[in-house]
Structure 1
């Protein structure tokens, strides 16, 4: 199926949820027979996986584009990234809640893929920051990226965090500063000062 199809089906899953939306609903929405839909997708699970992959590729492409536009590694980390914020907010959506409950293997597979791709973006930032002298060289960039991802993405699901006490914007800023203070050199910390005032 093409990109337009995946975009429209994504919207249907986001609006209706992973469990609630049926293959009948999708076929009807596109004016096709169920048989035609099942020729393309053997079941709803395979369609869900394609939709999640499609959405992930969009997010990662936008992150990579921003990396190309902002050369300074520290400045790049502080660019307002609406795509990551939307991904975190979507973690509390009907689609995600139903994925967790009814399709836990698909959800886990998706989150691992997301973590890998997001970590690659973060590792590229670390490599650039090291070349610029802003980031330390004595830490494992991939592990730090996964820790950062885990902290950001667990905002809505952590049993240890009262989200009514800490709005997401404040939480995200604190996680960012913790991460940046952990990876920056003295030169990087001086540059970082403009973001702490």
Structure 2
């Protein structure tokens, strides 16, 4: 692993743990045992580094979303696969990351907004259309409205105004939100699948904790 990649990985780790504002270029250098000058050889300033970190995160998410879509047997399983991946990411993310990004790194936040409003919009809309064609989602839903609703509910657990003191409740909040979303969409056939995947997920978690 070269120095540039090591800086990227360590920065991501520190940003997730402490938020963006609290981590300086000097902190990153110290954690890696290198000089601050070395960090600046690869990244012109902190904004450049934040951009590199979250561009990589978004590209990884893009790849995983496409893999989930290919792997899933149906639209509902695709949502469960995406949910598990999202929880793995959110579990280690400091709730202040998006707030810091919006306030102190607006150009990076715009990239995140574009990713959300273009790529994620397309993925969610495609999932809704697929679910309808499979007879798992109701045919009378407004696809555009529910796509936008889901996009904006994904990060709701990080909103301190809505869920204050939520650092240790992210998984619980997100599970409630995704279940609310799915049950609202589902036909009787779809609800049976939701119950099936919920039970499978519960069994996996229990086995993991043994």
Alignment TM-score > 0.5, same fold: yes
Listed as ranges, the matches of 1:125-164 within 5 Å are 125-161=127-163
How far apart, CA to CA, are the structure 2 residues paired with 1:110 and 1:98?
Answer: 14
**Would you say the 8 A contact 2:137–2:187 is kept in 1?**
yes
**Would you say the 8 A contact 1:90–1:96 is kept in 2?**
no
Aligned to 2:204: none
Which structure 2 residue ranges, 5 or more long, are not aligned?
Answer: 200-210
How far apart, CA to CA, are the structure 2 residues paired with 1:151 and 1:111?
Answer: 15
How far apart, CA to CA, are the structure 2 residues paired with 1:30 and 1:142?
Answer: 49
How far apart, CA to CA, are the structure 2 residues paired with 1:25 and 1:196?
Answer: 42
Q: CA deviation at 1:185?
A: 3.9
Aligned to 1:109: 110
How far apart, CA to CA, are the structure 1 residues paired with 2:158 and 2:99?
Answer: 11
Deviations along 1:28-72, one digit per CA (max 9) or x if unpaired, are 6374662x6545433211221111111122233223212211121
TM-score, with length taken from structure 2: 0.68
TM-score, with length taken from structure 1: 0.71
Aligned to 1:58: 60
Please, what is the CA RMSD of the aligned residues?
3.6
Q: Identify which of 83, 86, 91 aligns with 2:85.
A: 83
Secondary structure in 2 matching 1:13: helix
How far apart, CA to CA, are the structure 2 residues paired with 1:106 and 1:94?
Answer: 17
Q: When the two structures are aligned, how many residues end up with a matched partner? A: 194
**Would you say the 8 A contact 2:17–2:94 is kept in 1?**
no
